Amino acid sequence: MSLYEKNLKALRNIALKEALSKIKAPKHFKLITGSDSLDINLQDLRDNSLLYQNPMQELNEAIKLYNETYPLYPVLYFYGFGNGLLYKVLAQNENHLLFVIFESELEIIYHIFHLVDFTKELEKGKLIFLNPKNDINLEAQALLGEFMPAFYSSRVYFLELHSKYYEKFKENVKQTNEILTLTIKNTISAYGDDPYDALLGIKQHSFNLVEMISHPTIQELHAKRKGKFKSCVIVSTGPSLTKQLPLLKEVQDRVVIFAADSAYPILMQNDIVPDYVCMVERTDFTAEFFKHDFGNKDDKTTFLLASLVHPNAISYLEARGKNYMLLERLLAFHAFTALKQWGYINETISVAHMALSVASSLDFRNIVFIGQDLAFAKDGSSHAKNYQNGENFESGYYEDEFEVEGYGGGKVKTHFLWYMFKHFLEKHISELAKKYIFFNATEGGVKKYIFFNATEGGVRVQGTIEKPFKECCEEFFTEEKGDLEKLESLNQQKQNELLLKSLYKLYQAKKNCLKFRTFLNENLDELNERLKPYANQINPSLLHGGGGGVVLCNKVSNKLCK
C-alpha cells in the first residue's frame, strides 16, 4: 500500500476521501521540491503563484510563533493546508488536540498526501479538513457541539492564514471567519448566560414538581403513541402561516398537529384543533397564550409543557380541565431531581425545537414544518395575522437585522435570535438525519426521518426538503388518524413515593446552597481583593446591577437559598 493510500485510508472525511480518489492527474498545481526533505513547495499553474516564497524559512518562523505564543491552545484553525509540515510538527505538542484546516484546493492535499505521512494524526482525529467553498455551517456546529475542547476554548478562537498565498481567497476567508464566529456565539448563547434566568427555571421547576408527578410520564407517552403515525406537521407563527391555515383546516383529521404555544389560539380561532401544543419558555408573558376558553373543542388536545414553565400556564389549563403533561429538559438541575420518567427532551432552545424533539421521539417519519419563517415578511411583519401580540410584534425591535438565504432562493431579513434558532434547528435536523431504519453497504439505507419545509416563505433551513404544503398534504396526509390513545398517570402510591424523593433532593440542593453562601461570606473580602487587579477588564454591563463577580455570586446564592 502506497503512502497516499495509507493517508486516504486513515482519512475520516468520507466526502473528501471520495473527491481525492477521483483525482488521477493534477491539472492546477505543480510540485516543487528541494534537496532538503522539508523543502516542499507548490506552484498554482493558473497564475504561477507559489504557496511559499521560502518554504523552510516560513516553516521555522511559524513553528517558533506557535510554540512560543500558542503552546496551550487545544484547537487551532488554519485557512490552508500548504505543505502540511507545520501541522506535522505542531501535532507533537500534546496540548494541541485538533487542527481544523479549511482547504478548497483538493490538489494541494492530493500532492502532500503522496509525500508526508499523516496516518497517525488522521487516525487519532487530530487533523480535520473542511472545504470553505461548501456550506460549513453544519460542520462548524458539529465541531463545537460534539468536541468539547473546541467549545471550551472558543473564547480564544482565531483563524490563521497558512501562508500569503491564501490571501487571494480573502473574501472566502472573511466568510468562513464570520460563520465560525457566529456559530461560536450561538453555541455559547444556547448554554445560557443569565444566572437569574437559570434560577427562575429552577424555582418554577421546583414549584411544578407536584403537577408533573401527578400527570402522565414521557414513558407513558411513548408506550401509547410511539410509532402509531407516519406524518406530522409542526406549526409555528411566522407570517407565512396565514396562507396555510385553510389547507391545514381541510386535512386536520388526517395528520397529527404539533402547535407552538403561540399558534394555539390562532389555530383554535380558525377551527383547527391541534393534537399537541408545546410550551418551553419560563415567562408569564408566554403563559398568556393559554388564557383562553375554547370550551370543549380542545378536550382531546395534549398540552406538552417544559417543567420550568411559569405556573400561570398550568393554572390556566387546570381551570379548564385540560390534558397536560410536564416534561423535563436536559438540564443539570432536572437531572439532579432524578425524575427521569418525565425526561429528557433535548434541543429545546425554542418551542419549535421542542416539538421536533417530541415528534422524533414518537417516530414520525415525515415531519413537515409550516410557519417556520424565522424572518420578516416582505411587508415587514414578524408574525402571522391574528398573532396574540400583533403581527408586527418584533418588527423594528432588533437593531441587528441582516439578510440570509430564503426559502426557494433569494434573500430575506432576519435577526440574531431567529438566526440562532435556525442554526440549532439545522443542527438538530442534521443529527436526526443520520439515523436509519436499516443500513448496509450494499443496499444503502432507509432514513428514519425525512424533513420537509412547507413554510413557502422565510429562511432556507438546511437539511429540509422544500416542498409546497399542498403537495405534502396530498402525498403524506392520506389516512384518517382517529383519536389518540388516552394517557394515564402513575398510581397514587408511586406518585407519593416520587414526590418524597424529589422533596429530599430539593432539601439537599438548599443545604448545598447554604454551604456555598457561608463559604462566600467567609471569603468575600479575600476574593474581592484578588479581583482588584482585573477590575478594569470586567465589563460592568455583563453583571446584573454592576459590582464584581464575587458580589454577583453572593446575590445569586442568596436568591437560590430563598
**C-alpha span between 230 and 157 (Å, rounded):** 43
The answer, yes or no, to whether residue 541 has pLDDT greater than 80, is: no
If residue 123 lies in a helix (H) or strand (E), which one and from where to where? helix 119-123
Percentage of the chain lying above the pLDDT 90 cut: 73
| Lowest-confidence segment of 124-133, 187-196, 281-290, 467-476 by average pLDDT | 187-196
The answer, yes or no, to whether residue 500 has pLDDT greater than 70, is: yes
| pLDDT (0 to 100) of residue 542 | 47
* Identity of the residue numbered 311: P
| pLDDT (0 to 100) of residue 439 | 53
| pLDDT (0 to 100) of residue 197 | 85
Q: Which residues contact 2 (CB under 8 A, 6 or more apart)?
A: 114
Which whole number is the average pLDDT over 275-287?
Answer: 96
Burial level of 460, CB count in 10 A (0-12/13-18/19+)? Answer: buried
The answer, yes or no, to whether residue 24 has pLDDT greater than 60, is: yes
| pLDDT (0 to 100) of residue 225 | 97
The H-assigned helical ranges of 52-118 are 55-69, 85-90, 106-113
The answer, yes or no, to whether residue 226 has pLDDT greater than 80, is: yes
C-alpha to C-alpha distances, 79 to 7, 121, 173, 394, nearest whole angstrom: 21, 18, 7, 38
Q: How many CA atoms lie within 13 A of 272 on its CB side?
A: 28
For residue 50, the cross-strand partners are: 43
| pLDDT (0 to 100) of residue 554 | 53
Sheet of 256-260, strands arranged across: 343-345, 323-329, 302-306, 276-279, 256-260, 231-235, 366-370, 450-453, 465-466
SS3 67: helix
Phi/psi-derived region of residue 255, left when phi > 0, alpha when psi is between -120 and 50, beta in every other case = beta
The answer, yes or no, to whether residue 194 has pLDDT greater than 80, is: no
How many residues does the structure list for the chain?
A: 562
The answer, yes or no, to whether residue 127 has pLDDT greater than 80, is: yes
| pLDDT (0 to 100) of residue 549 | 44
SS3 328: strand
The answer, yes or no, to whether residue 550 has pLDDT greater than 50, is: no
pLDDT 10s digits, 238-268? 999 999 999 999 999 999 999 999 999 999 9
Burial level of 499, CB count in 10 A (0-12/13-18/19+)? Answer: middle
Are 318 and 215 a contacting pair, CB within 8 Å? no
Phi, psi of 459 (to 5 degrees): -80, 160
